[in-house]
Structure 1
Amino acid sequence: MTAPVLPPPVCVEDYRRLARLRLDQDVWDFIEGGAETERTLGANRRAFERVTLRPRVLVDVSHCDTRTELLGAPLATPVGIAPTAYHRLAHPEGEVATALGAGTAGALYVVSIFASRTLEDIAAAATGPLWLQLYWLRRREVLAALVDRAAAAGFRALVLTVDAPRLGRRHRDARNGFAIGSGISAVNLDAALMASAHRADPGRSALAVHTAEAVDPSVTWSDLAWLRARSSLPLVLKGILTAEDALLAVEHGADAIVVSNHGGRQLDGATASLDALAEVVDAVGADCPVLFDGGVRGGTEVFAALALGARSVLLGRPVLWGLAAAGAAGVAGVLELATEELAHTMALTGRPGLAAVDRSAVVLRKGL
Structure 2
Amino acid sequence: MNETPERRGCGGCLLILAVVIAVVAVLAGRSLLDGRSGQVQSAPETVIPPSTRSTEKPSGRRPGVVNIDTEQGLRSTRAAGTGILLDASGLVLTNNHVIQGATAIRGTVTDNGRRFTAEVLGYDKSGDIAVIRLRGAARLKPAAFGDSTRVQLGDPVTAVGNEGGKGGDPKVVTGKVTALDQQVTATDQSDGSSERLAAMIETDAPIRPGDSGGPLLNTSGQVIGMNTAASAGYTMKMEGTHRGYAIPSNRALSVARQIQQGRASDTVHIGPTAMLGVQVRSVGPRTPGRRTPPPATSGALIAGILPGTAAESAGLRKGTVIIALNDQHVDSPGTLTNILLRYHPGDTVRIGWVDLDGRRFTTPIHLTEGPPQ
Higher RCO (C-alpha under 8 Å, 6+ residues apart): 1
Q: Same fold (TM over 0.5)?
A: no
More helix as a share of residues: 1
Larger strand proportion, structure 1 or 2?
A: 2
TM-score (norm 2): 0.24
User: Based on CA coordinates, which of the two structures has the bigger radius of gyration?
Assistant: 2
